[in-house]
Amino acid sequence: MTEINTLADALPREMARVRDEILPVYDSVPHGGFAAAMMRRDLDRAAKAMTAGDVVEMLRAYQALKDYGL
């Protein structure tokens, strides 16, 4: 049976991935501050969108977070 992956499931997972795995790496390098600030902005944006129930903004935030990688 396939698992159904909704935005309500995927966005918090993506937020945790960026916050726990990627952000610490950028915080630890000398010139990572700008990228880390952008990640924090997108994490805040995602949290606000979830709180407001704004699905369109949740989708935008999800895509922005998905684009972050190492």
Per-residue confidence (pLDDT) for residue 64, from 0 to 100: 97
Q: Are 36 and 23 in contact (CB under 8 A)?
A: yes
**Residue 1 covered by a domain:** no
65 class by beta-carbon count within 10 Å (0-12 exposed, 13-18 middle, 19+ buried): buried
| In a domain? residue 24 | yes
Range of the domain at 53: 7-66
The helix/strand/coil state of 2 is: coil
Number of domain units in the chain = 1
Spans of the chain below 50 pLDDT:
none
pLDDT at residue 5 in the model: 86
Helices assigned H by DSSP within 1-67: 7-17, 23-28, 33-52, 55-66
- What pLDDT score does 24 carry? 97
Given this model, what pLDDT does residue 1 score? 61
Asked if 45 and 61 count as a contact pair (C-beta separation under 8 A), the reply is yes
Whether 39 is in a domain gets the answer yes
Q: Tell me, yes or no, whether 61 lies in a domain.
A: yes
Q: Does the pTM of the predicted model rise above 0.85?
A: yes
Query: What pLDDT score was predicted for residue 3?
Result: 75
